[in-house]
Amino acid sequence: MSATSETAFFDTMPFDPTAPLTPSGNLRRRAAVSRTVQVSATVAALFAVAVLVIVLFGVAKRGAAALSLSFIFENPSGLASGGIFNAIIGTVEIVIAGALIALPLGILTGLYLTEFSGARSRTARLLKLALDMMAGLPTIVVGLFVYGLIVIPQHRESGFAGAVALSIVMLPIMARTSQEVLLLVPNSLREAADALGVSRWRTVLSVIIPAATAGIVTGAILATARAAGETAPLLICNSLYAQDSTSLNLFHGVPSISMFIYQSYDLPLPDAVTRAWGAAFVLMMLILIANIGARLLLARSRAKMRR
């Protein structure tokens, strides 16, 4: 009885546990769909990297023709010759002035969010929303704002106005990175300081900030790199004239690399376009090097904190 039913079972569904599994039609279809998705996601990533390479290579190829030591270390002479030293110095001036405004404010905001208010408190959420809004402000509008705030009352476009505009671009980035890094500072440090009866501000100044310095610095570098490439606020707030000499007075028009590119492409001279490519290459290299350096630093300090 039992023997016959067993043989009947094996006759209808032959099952050999040692045989390799073969997918049915449905499983094959599912695997194929999954495979297609994987391939297209890989292609998408390759596409993004390819775009980066195409942009970098395009700028490098065209910029290399203009590049020389004198292009970097000499002031311009005439309409389309000489170097862009003044513009490099100008960009550095404006960006550093902007960073000097944004850095303290950014660190203080980050400290407020992490040390002085609960992460879920209403003020903290409001402040985070305000920071997001600030980060979402179109940079051209930041330019308009500073034009109304500083340029109109002073009756003068100036590097200082440009620096203020850039500080608004930098501030949310600095605040966000400071906050992120401060959150990584181990709570045991705060508790140890509290146990010793150290007041909160002293803990912040002598324990928390030193522990987070590397992260804050990298945030500052990333923010300045971002601001260094901005054109729109400088176009509006910083004078278009005064482009030919090194200017150390921030309260007058200060030349900058991005404005140099913007203006050179308008000149009807082939040399001017080549020089614009050269300047674009210099600007991009400065920013990319700062970015990559900051990222490496950040990764290292994060690893150190997590340990």
Partner 1 sequence: MYGLCALAGVLIVITLADVIYQLANNGSLAISHFGLGFITSTEWKPGFSKEGAGALLFGTLVTSLMAIVLATPLGIAIGLYLSMMAPVRVRAIVGPLVELLAAVPSIVYGFWGLVVLVPFVDGLEPGLHSALGFIPIFGPASPVGISVFAAGLVLTVMILPIISALTRDLFLTVPVELKDGAAALGATQWEIIRGIVLPTTVSGCASAVVLGLGRAFGEAIAVSFVIGDANNVNKSLFQPGTTAAARIADQFIAPVNPLHLSAMFYAGLLLVIIGMLTSVAASTIAGRFDVTQRVI
Instruction: Considering only residues 204 through 233, tell me which ones interact with partner 1, judged by CB under 8 A.
Output: 204-205, 219, 222-223, 225-226, 228-232
Q: How far is CA 306 from CA 119, 178, 301, 302, 303, in A?
A: 20, 16, 9, 6, 5
Positions 118 through 137 that interact with partner 1 (CB under 8 A) = 123, 126-137
Examine residue 300 and tell whether it contacts partner 1 (CB under 8 A): no
Rank residues 8 and 27 by Cβ distance to partner 1 and give the closer one.
27
**Rounded to whole angstroms, how far apart are CA atoms 276 and 265?**
6
Rank residues 37 and 248 by Cβ distance to partner 1 and give the closer one.
37
Positions 134 through 153 that interact with partner 1 (CB under 8 A) = 134-142, 144-145, 147-149, 152
Total of chain residues touching partner 1, rule CB under 8 A: 94
Q: Tell which residue, 159, 55, 193, 183, has the closest CA to residue 110.
A: 183
Write each residue from 152 to 191 as x if it is in contact with partner 1 (CB under 8 A), else as -, in one continuous string. x---------------x--xxx-xxx--------------
Residue ranges of the alpha helices (H) in 22-138? 25-64, 69-73, 85-111, 122-136
Write each residue from 76 to 115 as x if it is in contact with partner 1 (CB under 8 A), else as -, in one continuous string. ----------------------------xx--xx-xx--x
Sign of CA dihedral 182, 218, 258, 277: negative
**Rounded to whole angstroms, how far apart are CA atoms 264 and 266?**
5
Examine residue 280 and tell whether it contacts partner 1 (CB under 8 A): yes
The interaxial angle of helices 270-306 and 25-64, nearest 10 deg, is: 130
